[in-house]
Amino acid sequence: MGLLWSMRPVPGSRIGLRLRKKEVHTPMVVHISVYSGHMSQGFREQVALASVVTERWYMAPGVRRVDITEGGVTGTLFLPPGPGPFPALLDLWGGGGGLVEYRSALLSSHGFVSLALEYMTPRTSGGSTSHVGNEYFEAAFTILKQHPQVCGDRIAILGLSFGTSVALGMAVYSTVIQPRCLVCVSGSHVQPVKGSLSDVFGEIKKNVRNTRYDEENRVIWRDLLLPIPTDPTKKVDVGQLKCPVLMIVGEDDQNWPATESAEDMKQMMEKAGNSHLLTTLSYPGAGHLIELPYSPHIRASNFIVAGTKQKLVVLWGGETAPHGHAQEDSWKKILSFLEEHLY
C-alpha cells in the first residue's frame, strides 16, 4: 500500500493540492505503471514496461446514500445493507466547512449508520456567514436517534480537528446529545464553557497574533490555543465525561495543539476520577490530517477561512512514512473501539 500513501502531486502542479474523493458512489481509479530506470518526470513521453488499473471503493455493495435536509439540518446519511437496526455515528469534519462524505461512506461499509454533517457554511446558517448554533448539532443527533434503522442508544460522535471541539462540548454540556462513545482526532478541549461555535472562534481570534509562518510562508496555527489555559471557564470540563473517549494525536501536528490538549485532558480526568474512560493514541512523526488508511500524506494544502473566504496554504505537519503508519494503525483501532462500545 506504500504506492498509495506515498503518492504526491506531479512536479509543476498547482501549490496546495489535496487529494480527496468527492463522489463516493464511484471508485477512485489509480493507474500504476512501471518504467525503466528511476524517473521523476516525463512519464507521458515514455513507454511503460507494465501497467495496471486498480479501483478503490468507499461504498461497499448495498450501502445506501441518502441526502438529509430535514429540520434545518444538511448532511448525507449512509446506511449499511440489511434491515438493521444498526449503531450509528455523527461524523464531524473540521474548520474548512463543507460536506465531506468519504469517511462516513467507509464507516457505513463497516456496519455503522453514519451521518456526514455539513456545518460552518452559509447553507447551514440561513444564508449568512455566521456559524451554526448548538441546536443544529442536537437536531442532527436527534435525526439519527429517531431513524428506524438506528439503535437510538448506540450513537457515537467522530470529530476531526474542530469537529473534536464540537464533539467534546456537546458530550459534556448538551442535555440532548448523549453519545455512547467519542472518537476525537487531532483536536482540543480548549473553548469557552458552554460556548457556541462563534464563541470558540472569537476566542481563537484573540490569539491571532500567535500565527506563525514557515520558510515557504505556510500558516502554522498550533499556537493559537497555547498555552493551554488554567482557567476552567476556558476549556470543556472533561471531568464530567461519562462515555469512553478515544483521542488520536499526531506529535508533529502544526495546526492544532493536540498533544498538549490530550495531556491536559488526561490530567483533568485523573483529578475528576474518570480517566479510565480516556484512551490516547499518540503517533510520533504524524501531522494534523490523520485521515483514512493508505491516503496520501498531505503536509500542507490550500485552506479557505470560513467567513472571510481568505485563501491560505496551511501547514498540517507530519512526515510521509510515520504519518502513513498512523493513518493505518489508528483506523484499525477506531473500528475496534467502535465495535467494542457500539456493538
pLDDT tens per residue across span 121-133:
655 444 444 456 7
Within the chain, strands assigned E span: 28-34, 50-56, 64-68, 75-79, 86-92, 113-117, 150-160, 181-185, 212-213, 219-220, 245-250, 278-283, 300-304, 311-315
> Considering 91, 252, 253, 264, which one is annotated as catalytic?
253
> What value, to the nearest 5°, has the Cα angle with vertex 131 and ends 138 and 159?
55
Question: Would you say 102 and 142 are in contact if contact means Cβ atoms under 8 Å apart?
Answer: no
CB atoms near residue 150 (< 10 Å): 22
Amino acid symbol at 82: G
Q: Name residues whose C-beta falls within 8 Å of residue 72's C-beta, 6 or more positions apart in sequence.
A: 136, 139
Where b means 16+ CB within 10 Å and e means fewer, 202-219 reads: ebbeeeeeeeeeeeeebb
161 is a catalytic site residue = yes
In 3-state terms the chain splits into helix, strand, coil percentages (rounded to 5) of 30, 25, 45
253 is a catalytic site residue = yes
pLDDT for the residue 131 = 54
Lookup result for grid cell 503536509: 299
pLDDT for the residue 306 = 66
Helices 162-173, 134-146: axis angle to 10 degrees equals: 80
pLDDT for the residue 13 = 87
Identify whether 291 is part of a domain: yes
CATH of the domain at 286: 3.40.50.1820
Tens of pLDDT, residue by residue over 188-217, are: 999 988 777 777 777 777 778 889 999 999
Low-confidence ranges of the chain (pLDDT < 50): 124-130
128: left (phi over 0), alpha (psi -120 to 50) or beta: beta
> Considering 131, 147, 189, 288, which one is annotated as catalytic?
288
Provide the grid cell at 185. Answer: 482526532
Identify whether 1 is part of a domain: no
Provide the grid cell at 254. Answer: 502544526
Identify whether 84 is part of a domain: yes
Identify whether 36 is part of a domain: no
Domain count, the chain: 1
174 is a catalytic site residue = no
Identify whether 53 is part of a domain: no
Identify whether 2 is part of a domain: no
pLDDT for the residue 337 = 98
d(CA 224, CA 209): 8
Identify whether 16 is part of a domain: no
Residue span of the structural domain in which 261 resides: 58-342
Identify whether 38 is part of a domain: no
R_g of the chain, CA atoms, integer Å: 20
> Considering 109, 161, 165, 186, which one is annotated as catalytic?
161
> What SS3 class is residue 84?
coil
